[in-house]
Amino acid sequence: MGSFHRILTLFKKDWMLEMRQQYAFYGILLYIASTIFVLYLAMGDTNYETWNALFWVTQLFVCINAVAKSFLQEGRGRMLYFYTISHPVEYVLAKIIYNVLLMTIMNTLNLFLYIAFMGDPTVNLLQFIGISYLGGIGLSLVFTMLAAIASKAMQQASLMAILGFPIIIPQLLLLIRLSKVAFAETFREGVVSQVVLLLVALDLGIVVLSVILFPFLWKD
Amino acid sequence: MNRSWWKILCVVLLIFTVIAGLLGPVPALRQLQETIRNLYFHVCMWFAMMILFTISVVHSIKYLRSLDLNRDIRAHQYASTGVFMGLLGYATGAIWASYTWADPNNPAYASFGSIVREPKLIGAAMALLIYAAYFVLRSSITDIDKKARVSAVYNIFAYAMLFPSIWIIPRLLPSLHPGQEGNPALNFNDIDARMRMVFYPAVLGWTLLGVWITTLKIRLSLLKEKKWLNA
C-alpha cells in the first residue's frame, strides 16, 4: 500500500466517523446558526465594519470547535493502533486534509447564514468569498497543529484557546484588513496581492512545519 | 577569568550605556526632545527579548534532535528571561509614552484605546502571550519527557508563526510609534550617527546581561533537577 493510499484511508476513516456520528457536524451547524441568530437579534442593522469583524470572530470560534474535536476524540488506545499501522506524516496529512475540508464546508454554511440573516454589505461578494475560504483554510491549518499539541496536555479544550489565540491574532488581523477590499476600500497598489501571497506562503509554511514537528508529538 | 570576559564586557558596556546614554549628544527633535534617549533602554529591551527567544528556540530544536533534558531546561529559562525583558520593554515604553503620546489634558484612560491598537504593541503583546501560553502548557503536563517534547514543538511552531507577523503587521497598519516604515531602529538611516555609537553597544550590553541572568537561572534549575538528569 502506497503512502498516498494510506493517507486516503485515514482520511476516509475520519470522514466515515463523521457521517456515522453526525452529532458533531450538526452540533457545529447549530452553533453557527444560533450564534448568527443571536447576532441578528442583538445587532439589527450593522455597518460593514461590524459585519466584517463579527464574521471573522464567528469563523474563528467555529474553526476552534470543528478542528479541536479531530484530535481530542482519539483515545490513547486508538492512537497506539494508528501508531502501529501508519507513519506520523501520513497521519497528520490525513488530518490536515480532513480539517481543511470540514472547515471549507463550515465556511460555506457560515457565509450563507451570515448573508441570509445579516444582509450582504459587500461590494464585491466573490472577492469576499475567496478571502473567507483562504482565511478558513489558514485557520484550520493552524488549529490542526495546535489541537495536536493540546491533545497531549490536560484540560485540552481551554488550553487550545490559550495556545491558539496569540498565534492566530496576527493572521486574523491580516484577514480582517484584507477582506475590506471586498467592501471597496482602497489599498495601495500591489498590497492586496502581496497579502494574499503572504497568507498562501504562511499556509504552506504551516503544513511544512506540521509535517516536520508532528512526529515528535506522536511518540509517547 | 578566561570564561568571564563576556561578563566584564557586559558590565563595561552597560556602564558606558548609562553614562553616554544620559550625557551624550542627541539630535534635538521638537517632538521627542530628550525622551529620545529611551532608545538606549526601551528598544534594547525588545532586541534582547527577541535574541533570547531565538536562543530559546535554537535550544528547543536541539532538544528535539538530541532528546537531552539539559536543552529543555535551557530553552525554558531563556524564554522566561525573554519574557522578563519584554515586560521591562513595556514598562520603559509606557513611561516614554506618558510623556510623548498621552494628552495631559485628558485622563490616562482616555488615550488607552488608541494606544492598544498600536501594531507594534500588538506584536509585542503577542510575543509575551505566546510565551505565557508556553509556560501554561509546560505546567499542564506532568511527565518530564513529554513536557519537554510538547513544549519544544510549541515553542518552534509559535516562533515560526510569530516572527513573520511581527515583521509584516507594522507595515500594514497605521501607527504613531517611531520607526513608521517597518521595524524601529533597524533601518540604518533611521538613527543619528552619534546615537548609533551608543545604541549598538547598548543592545549588546543588555543582551549579555539577559544571557548572564539566564545562565545563573540555568545553573540553579540544574541543581534542582539533578536527581532527574542523573537518573
Does the distance separating the beta carbons of B137 and A209 come in below 8 Å?
A: no
Suggest the residue from B150, B151, B173 to mutate for an interface test with chain A (most A CBs closer than 10 A). Answer: B150
Q: Minimal Cα distance from B159: which residue of A?
A: A167
User: pLDDT band at B155, cuts 50/70/90?
Assistant: very high
Suggest the residue from B64, B149, B165 to mutate for an interface test with chain A (most A CBs closer than 10 A). Answer: B165
Q: Which residues of B touch A154 (CB under 8 A)?
A: 140-141
And the C-alpha cell for B165? 507577523
Q: What is the pLDDT of residue B213?
A: 94
User: pLDDT band at A204, cuts 50/70/90?
Assistant: very high
Q: Minimal Cα distance from A216: which residue of B?
A: B149
* DSSP string of chain A, one letter each residue: --HHHHHHHHHHHHHHHHHHSTHHHHHHHHHHHHHHHHHHHHHSS--HHHHHHHHHHHHHHHHHHHHHHHHHT--HHHHHHHHHHS-HHHHHHHHHHHHHHHHHHHHHHHHHHHHHHH----SSHHHHHHHHHHHHHHHHHHHHHHHHHHTTSSSHHHHHHHHHHHHHHHHHHHHHHHHGGGGT----TTHHHHHHHHHHHHHHHHHHHHHHHHHHHH--
Is the CB of residue A53 less than 8 Å away from at least one CB of chain B? Answer: no
Q: What is the pLDDT of residue B176?
A: 63
**Does residue B104 carry a pLDDT above 70?**
no
- Which of B1-15, B49-63, B173-187 has the lowest average pLDDT? B173-187
**Does residue B76 carry a pLDDT above 90?**
yes
Instruction: For residue A195, give how far its alpha carbon lies from the nearest alpha carbon of chain B (Å).
Output: 9
pLDDT in tens, A95-131: 899 889 989 998 999 999 888 888 888 888 888 999 9
Q: Which residues of A touch B133 (CB under 8 A)?
A: 162-163, 166
Complex ipTM, two decimals? 0.85
Instruction: For residue B62, give how far its alpha carbon lies from the nearest alpha carbon of chain A (Å).
Output: 13
Mean pLDDT taken over chain B: 82
Instruction: State pTM to two decimals.
Output: 0.86
Who among B130, B150, B172 is closest to A166 (CB)? B130
Q: What is the pLDDT of residue A8?
A: 84
Q: Minimal Cα distance from B127: which residue of A?
A: A166
Instruction: For residue B182, give how far its alpha carbon lies from the nearest alpha carbon of chain A (Å).
Output: 15
**Residue burial A23-60, b: 16+ Cβ < 10 Å; e: rest:** ebbeebbebbeebbeebbeeeeebebeebbebbbebbb
Q: What is the pLDDT of residue A120?
A: 82
Q: What is the pLDDT of residue A130?
A: 92
| A3, A136, B142 from A133: Cα distances, Å | 28, 5, 39
**Does residue B182 carry a pLDDT above 70?**
no
Does the distance separating the beta carbons of B152 and A153 come in below 8 Å?
A: no
**Does residue B183 carry a pLDDT above 60?**
no
Is the CB of residue A205 less than 8 Å away from at least one CB of chain B? Answer: yes
pLDDT in tens, A12-36: 887 787 777 777 778 888 888 898 8
pLDDT in tens, B197-211: 888 889 899 999 999
User: pLDDT band at B113, cuts 50/70/90?
Assistant: low
Does the distance separating the beta carbons of B173 and A177 come in below 8 Å?
A: yes
| Residues sharing a CB contact under 8 Å with residue A22, sequence separation 6 or more, in sequence order | none
> A82 or B90: which carries more pLDDT confidence?
B90
